[in-house]
Amino acid sequence: ASQHRLWPEIENVVKSQVNMAKMGIGECGAGWQLFAEDGEMKMYRREEEVDGMVCDPLKAVHVVKGISGHEVCHYFFNPQYRYDWESTLEHMTVLETISEDTLVFLQTHKRIWPASQREGLFWSHIRKLPNEKDRDGPDIWTVVNNSTEYSEHPANNGKCVRIFLTVCLLCQTTVDPPKDGTTLTRDNLSCKITYCSVVNPGGWAPASVLRAVYKREYPKFLKRFTAYVKNQTKNKPIMF
Interface contacts to ligand A59, rule CB under 6 A: 86, 88, 107, 109, 112, 115, 118, 120, 145, 163, 165, 167, 199, 201, 205, 209-210, 213-214, 217-218, 221
Across the strands, what pairs with 121?
Answer: 106
Residue 140 or 167 with smaller CB distance to ligand A59: 167
Least distance from C-beta 120 to ligand A59, angstroms? Answer: 5
Residue 3 or 80 with smaller CB distance to ligand A59: 80
- The identity of residue 24, as a single letter, is G
Least distance from C-beta 172 to ligand A59, angstroms? Answer: 18
User: Buried b vs exposed e over 33-52: b needs ≥16 C-beta within 10 Å?
Assistant: eebbeeeebbbbbbeeeeee
Residue 60 or 238 with smaller CB distance to ligand A59: 60
Least distance from C-beta 182 to ligand A59, angstroms? Answer: 37
Residue 86 or 139 with smaller CB distance to ligand A59: 86
Least distance from C-beta 227 to ligand A59, angstroms? Answer: 15
Phi, psi of 9, deg, nearest 5: -65, -45
Residue 62 or 109 with smaller CB distance to ligand A59: 109
DSSP letters, 203-215, are S---HHHHHHHHH
Residue 63 or 209 with smaller CB distance to ligand A59: 209
CB nearest ligand A59: which residue?
A: 115
3-state helix, strand, coil in the chain (%, to 5): 30, 35, 35
Least distance from C-beta 117 to ligand A59, angstroms? Answer: 9
Q: Determine the 3-state secondary structure of 229 from DSSP.
A: helix
Q: How many helices (H) and strands (E) does the chain have?
A: 4, 12
Least distance from C-beta 136 to ligand A59, angstroms? Answer: 31
- Judge residue 121's burial from the number of C-beta atoms within 10 Å of its C-beta, 0-12 exposed, 13-18 middle, 19 or more buried: buried
